[in-house]
Chain A
Amino acid sequence: MKSIFKNKLNLFLFFLLVINLIYIKNISYFNLEILKNSFNKNWIPVYSIYRPEVIESKYLLDKHRINKFNVSQKIIGETDFDYSSANTIKATDLYTHFRIVTYNYPIRLDSQSKYFLFFLNEKTSEKCKEIEKGKYLKLLIC
């Protein structure tokens, strides 16, 4: 430490290092609430997930103890496009679909499951029975 503070150039470089760290903190989305809850297993990551539908999907599936679920075609979004481009995926509504899959794991997406998540404004088949309606999604058994 002495070698840093006894030399002006080293001190200047140390100052630049601190500036760099502050810069990283400023360009990131640092938030004290996240820091406080960083090890809280029950905390809902509201700052990580920017679509409330995703958070609600976990609430609905957990509440009804469902371990395999399916989603509507509207949630799945566009198919047959270039998966290698993150920007293309972001432009479509695939964020909701992919985020629901990753966030709800170990509850799995299964095309054979009879439990369906639909957007609230979506029309559903008469064969489906509504289990619960949330603010953004509804859970149905088909």
Chain B
Amino acid sequence: MLKQIKRVLKIEIFVSILALLILLNYLILFINYNEYVIKLIFSLYIFTILVFFVYKPLNFFHLKITLIILMIIVLGNPTYSWDAWAIWLFHAKRIFFEQSIIAQLDEYAMWTHNDYPVIAPTFAASLATLVGGWNNIFPKLAFLLMYFPPLILSIKIFNVRYHLLFLILALFILNLHFINGYVDGLVAIYFSFSSYLVYDIFVNKQNSFYYYL
């Protein structure tokens, strides 16, 4: 029992740190584009993910191998989807080059839907800041990295068998959305997990600290 509580707590800590860093990155860019702070936040994000992968590497092996393979597929795929290059990555590119989260509010290229939310493009722009340049391929990796908190949280919800089933269904339903630079899959995953957390807080009366993130 104690072992199970410890396991759950560790997952909650990982998810909390990752979710906090995504929000913190967004907040920092909103206040001021400070290159060093952005690099620090993104490095911490990558470090946390590395700890998750390296700490007892055979635990949640199926999830880890899935995420690694998806990362390789993302980096080996061209950015050909319309919404990816015309909207999400273009917004990220604008944030990166203008060094401002409100870069797209100058009414340039209106057909790129300048009114769309920028949390995902901001994260991609931060990755470009960490790398120190821009190309068409690697910023998509940031979108995949944003999938990590809910996918890691899913370990806590399901046992191994159902978690395998969950991953199979998620990959089957979302498939290319994981890798083509769209954020539709991100919205779907975050909406599903938000619904689950609302259920857990208000119906199951769970009140773990990380739920309020």
Tell me the total A-B contact number using a CB cutoff of 8 A: 131
Most B CB within 10 A of own CB, among A17, A30, A41, A98: A17
* A-chain residues with CB within 8 Å of residue B132 when the two chains form the complex: 41
> Interface size on A (CB < 8 Å)?
46
Contact pattern, A 62-102, Cβ under 8 Å of B = 1, otherwise 0: 00000000000000000000010010011000000011011
Determine the chain B residues whose CB is within 8 A of the CB of A109 once the complex forms. Answer: 109
Given known pairs A38-B138, A45-B136, A108-B108, the reply for A28 and B82 (CB within 8 Å) is no
Distance (whole angstroms) from the CB of A34 to the closest CB of chain B: 5
Chain B at the A interface: SS class: helix
User: Given the interface contacts A13-B165, A41-B134, does A24 sit within 8 Å of B160 by beta carbon?
Assistant: no
Chain A residues numbered 30-46 whose CB sits less than 8 Å from any CB in chain B: 30-32, 34-35, 37-41, 43, 45
Do A48 and B180 have beta carbons less than 8 Å apart? no
- Cross-chain contact B133 with A41 (CB below 8 angstroms): yes
Min Cβ gap B186→A in Å is 16
Instruction: State in angstroms the CA–CA spacing of A89 and B83 once bound together.
Output: 12
By the criterion of a CB under 8 Å from any partner CB, how many residues of chain B are at the interface? 51
- Given contacts A16-B168, A41-B135, A90 and B82 within 8 Å (CB-CB): yes
Among listed B32-40, B46-54, B56-64, interface-contacting one: B56-64
What residues of chain B lie closer than 8 Å to A14, measured between beta carbons? 62, 164
Q: Which residues of A contact B73 (CB under 8 A)?
A: 21, 24-25, 28, 30
The 4 A-B residue pairs with the shortest CB-CB distance, nearest first, are A35-B76, A41-B133, A47-B78, A13-B164
A-to-B contact residues, CB < 8 Å: 1, 3-4, 7, 9-10, 13-14, 16-17, 20-21, 23-25, 27-32, 34-35, 37-41, 43, 45, 47-48, 50, 83, 86, 89-90, 98-99, 101-103, 105-106, 108-109
Q: A20-B171, A47-B80, A50-B80 are in contact. List 19 more A-B contacts (CB 8 A).
A: A4-B61, A7-B161, A20-B175, A21-B73, A24-B178, A24-B179, A29-B80, A30-B73, A31-B77, A34-B77, A39-B135, A39-B137, A41-B132, A43-B135, A48-B136, A48-B137, A89-B82, A90-B82, A106-B97
